[in-house]
């Protein structure tokens, strides 16, 4: 290299050429790396293997970054949150679906109450229904605050929640006169914006039981007022 030009190096002329540990590797006749020893490789993390998916309570000893393979489905996951009992496993393979802890129903910081009835019935009985959405803290005792308003004043509703929205389904309204209805109303849990009418249940009714999964709200049963 005296003239500044890098010459081709013949590794066969060097010591320690081969496929064993601590040896320089020489490409084979097909210009490919041959099978060689990895005995001297250190610092690599292993893959946890199981016939089923990881769960939120797997609590891997390797913490965040632990790789988990489901040997039945071939799905691969990486731990992205190692909180004890609330692990988050993100799918990094060709499949879909992450493993997440299910949040507490209604959230972990605040509770919400939407609609209902209030006041004393007068000559204007529609005031007996409320469109108010109230929020109260789980962390400290105290009064609720007026958070926002439903689009429709209603009582006897089925309630459901997602991570970011609350839902009010069906119920009884004044229109005029008390009638059952089928509206599904949605309101934000993180901003003080009024609710909106986003759709309809399959039928009118009141007093249904509301419940939630991570992806859907449910209303089961209902009472339908006599015609």
**In this structure, are residues 225 and 179 in contact, taking their beta carbons and an 8 Å threshold?**
yes
CATH 3.30.70.20 is right for the domain spanning 110-220? no
Q: Where are the domains of the chain?
A: 1-44, 47-91, 110-220
- What pLDDT score was predicted for residue 151? 95
User: What pTM value is reported for the model?
Assistant: 0.57
- What pLDDT score was predicted for residue 136? 95
In tens, the pLDDT along 6-28 reads: 555 565 555 566 666 667 777 77
Which residue positions in the chain have pLDDT lower than 70? 1-22, 44, 95, 101-107, 119-127, 175
């Amino acid at each position: 290299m005296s003239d500044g030009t890098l010459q081709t190096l013949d590794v066969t002329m060097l010591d320690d050429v081969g496929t064993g540990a601590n040896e320089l590797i020489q490409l084979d006749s097909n210009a490919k790396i041959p099978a060689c020893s990895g005995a001297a490789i250190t610092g690599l993390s292993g893959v946890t293997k199981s016939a089923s998916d990881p769960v939120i309570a797997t609590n891997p000893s390797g913490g965040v970054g632990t790789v988990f393979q489901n040997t039945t489905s071939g799905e691969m996951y990486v731990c992205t949150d190692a909180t004890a009992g609330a692990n988050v496993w993100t799918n990094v393979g060709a499949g879909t679906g992450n493993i997440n802890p299910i949040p507490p129903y209604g959230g972990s910081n605040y509770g919400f109450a939407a609609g209902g009835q209030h006041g004393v019935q007068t000559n204007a009985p529609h005031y007996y229904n409320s469109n108010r959405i109230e929020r109260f803290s789980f962390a400290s005792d105290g009064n609720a605050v007026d958070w926002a308003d439903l689009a429709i004043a209603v009582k006897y509703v089925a309630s459901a929640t997602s991570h970011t929205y609350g839902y009010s389904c069906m119920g009884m309204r004044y229109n005029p006169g008390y009638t059952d209805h089928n509206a599904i109303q949605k309101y934000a849990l993180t901003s003080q914006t009024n609710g909106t009418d986003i759709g309809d249940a399959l039928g009118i009714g009141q007093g249904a039981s509301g419940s939630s999964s991570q992806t859907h709200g449910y209303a089961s049963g209902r009472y339908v007022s006599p015609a």
